[in-house]
A and B are shown apart, each in its own frame.
Chain A
Amino acid sequence: MQFTLTISTLCIILIFTWRFLGSYITAVYTNKINYLRAAERLIFKALNIDQFGEQSWQRYTLSLVVFSIVSIFITYALLRLQGGLFLNPQHLAGVTPALSFNTAVSFVTNTNWQNYAGETTMSYLSQMVSLSVQQFVSPAVGMCVAVVLIRGIARRESKTVGNFWVDLVRGVLYIFLPLAIVSGIIFVSQGAVQTLAGPILIKNSLTHFSQTIPRGPVAFMEAIKELGTNGGGFFNANGSHPFENPTGTTNLLSIVLMLSIPVALTYTFGKMVGNIKQGFILLLTMAILFAGCLGLALYGESHGSIAISSSHVSQTISGNMEGKEVRFGTSNSALYNIASTQTSTGSVNSANDSYTPLGTTALISGMMLGEVSPGGVGSGLYTILLFAIIAVFIAGLMVGRTPELLGKKIQAKEVKLAGLAILIMPITVLVFTGIAVAIHAGQSGAFNRGPQGFTEILYAYTSQANNNGSALAGLNGNTDFYNITGAIAMMLGRFAVILPTTALAGSLALKKTVPNSLGTFKTDNLLFGGLLTGTIVLVGGLTFFPALALGPIVQSLSHKVF
């Protein structure tokens, strides 16, 4: 009952953010609002760019890639040098090269995979200027790609797709900073810490127990961590740490923040292409996939784990509590982790590795289906549009016309680019997992035995290639092998998808728009929603079914401990 209320509240809030945040985002990227024009003007002057000058897709992509590479370098340098810099109350040393590289790539690609424990590895300065900054910038870059693709579909016979610098700056200024400040205040009011004072030593006079409690500027990092679907927490325990996610309110707020922009972007899409119903159908598709995964996870977690039930401890009331916090219980834990794995956030409020096989299947499925339900900030929308192009092409042929998406003909070039973009993720996951399970450096990373160990490795690359960042955290990832292969997987999952996507946007923008008629294959109805869902499930399912069979599926069928 309480959980039903939580879900209902979540839905109501999301409907509002869909409608209003969606149209606000539209206003941001169509230059309809400019209340921060003073700040903008200063920045554009410093960059020496004309706010209204547009770029071709090639130029736009080049700017994006160069900016991302520079960001990786700066993040890397700051991590390496943190030992000699200020705001380091624990006097932590510089981060090792392989870990710095992995972490820099991880935060710039919006993955936030963490092969480290934040409280004992990163100085306050690193958390703030190295990691948090990328939590603002990397989702804004994702938004840029989504907006470019939307423009490509919306525009006719246009050679330009917008200006990267303008889109990036406006995204950070108008969307991420204001929303993060407001939500940061809520986090801190609920008990998330926000201080520059170092760890504190406490001594319990009742038990004479003493402990050192690490603290830091957490609450406001938490806000942007969730809002930007980043997921990289201040502490090792991430969203299960009481200082990051202290109450039921912050738990729901986190979920709302993760989902709100990806959900709202479907409205933005509909608005910008002039067909809000189309945006709604995308949202519906996302919702169906989300609900499916959530249902599976809730079912799995409420039925408890084999290890506990075989120890004759009844789990009927609480469900599988291993790795979960009492203040959330299994339902709110499953909801949070599903929201996080389906949005490319990757933060967790409970231990993924200790989920039941069905729960694990649900968590990993969100990613294996391409992170589209609703996916990361920006990336969710552009990825689902890539699937839409494939769905339109296959099904569109069945109406007897060259397939069109919103009046844009889908031809060889579009199929090639969309196909390429969709290929990258599964190939990256399967190839890297294949290598890791075959060699010692990879095998030794697995923490659990049996199929779960395999799942840990499979999950790691699935998460990184999808820029999610969650983990079956038993895996020991801080080795040269995992740091480097992981970084490559993250870069492929990000840039090897972005490149064909912006090329696709450029190609679509150049096209004429075919006018609608009764002979047009409608993409804004339930039938298409069903087809799109089917395409996503089929592509993801067919690609990963054998791998899943060797992991969670066999675990759930066998009822054994390994």
Chain B
Amino acid sequence: MLLQIRRSLILCFIFIFLCGIAYPLIGTGIAQTFFHYQANGEITKNGSYLIGQNWTGPKWFQGRPESDNAMASGPSNLGSSSKQLKTSVQQSASKLKREGIQPTPDLVTTSGSGLDPDISPQDAYAQVNAVSKYNHLPIQTVLSLVKSEIQQPQLGFLGSQYINVLKLNTALYKLEQSKNR
């Protein structure tokens, strides 16, 4: 018994060294050397492409509701037959309608991470009218902007089509700038 305890202790420390220190440090070394941009969170001057932000509509294309508090990731956890969820969906939907946007499921539901940086093409299409009207941009221009920002699934099939909201709004901002100039 004592022997087993001694061996267990020694082995625990060996594993702490191997798996708890050497492994992540070597990993960090590789990551920082070869994938510096990715390993640090794809940070750009206006934020991370991977972390959702709060975009107020209809000036900007909006992302999914409540997807901006990075220090508290997580979903709403409301059940699919939850009255509370129904209320919040209805609120989001009527807010969108007030802004002249036909609600889509993504725009009235919260994401799994609470930080979803993306919307689906349908969500963007639904906002094209409202956004172009608010920013006095031609609908066709905005529509083609949206189309150009659609990310296809990796290798054509991994994941879904999506549009990164930060990228889309950055492009929208550039469009406005060029128009104003």
Contact = CB atoms under 8 A, between A and B. Distances in A.
B39 A193 contact: yes
A234 to B, nearest CB: 10
A195 B35 contact: no
Given A6-B158, A188-B31, A191-B38, A306 B19 contact: no
Contacts of A356: 80
Contacts of B12: 67, 70-71, 74, 133
Given A70-B12, A327-B162, A240 B41 contact: no
A5 B155 CA distance: 10
A128 interface: yes
Interface string B135-160: 00000000000000000011111111
A137 B53 contact: no
A224 B69 CA distance: 27
Given A70-B8, A354-B79, A219 B27 contact: yes
Interface stretch (A243-251, A272-280, A422-430): A243-251
Contacts of A56: none
A194 B77 contact: no
A211 interface: yes
B21 to A, nearest CB: 6
A354 B27 contact: no
B115 A241 contact: yes
B70 A213 contact: yes
Interface residues of A, number: 131
Contacts of B69: 211
A562 interface: yes
Contacts of A310: 86
A353 B71 contact: no
Contacts of A172: 15, 18-19
Contacts, number: 387
Contacts of B7: 47-49, 63, 67, 165
Contacts of A315: 105
A66 B1 contact: yes
Given A2-B157, A221-B24, A332-B160, A561 B81 contact: yes
B20 A248 contact: no
Q: Size band of the B side of the interface?
A: 35 or more
Contact of A237 (B15, B80, B113): B113
A236 B173 contact: no
B36 to A, nearest CB: 9
A82 interface: no
B11 to A, nearest CB: 6
21 contacts: A66-B5, A74-B9, A136-B19, A172-B18, A193-B38, A195-B28, A196-B28, A204-B46, A207-B54, A240-B75, A246-B50, A249-B155, A307-B79, A308-B109, A313-B105, A320-B105, A324-B112, A327-B118, A328-B160, A351-B112, A562-B83
Interface of B: 1, 4-5, 7-12, 14-16, 18-21, 23-24, 26-28, 30-32, 34-35, 38-43, 45-48, 50-51, 53-56, 60, 64, 68-83, 85-86, 89-90, 93, 103-106, 108-120, 122-123, 153-160, 162, 169-170, 173
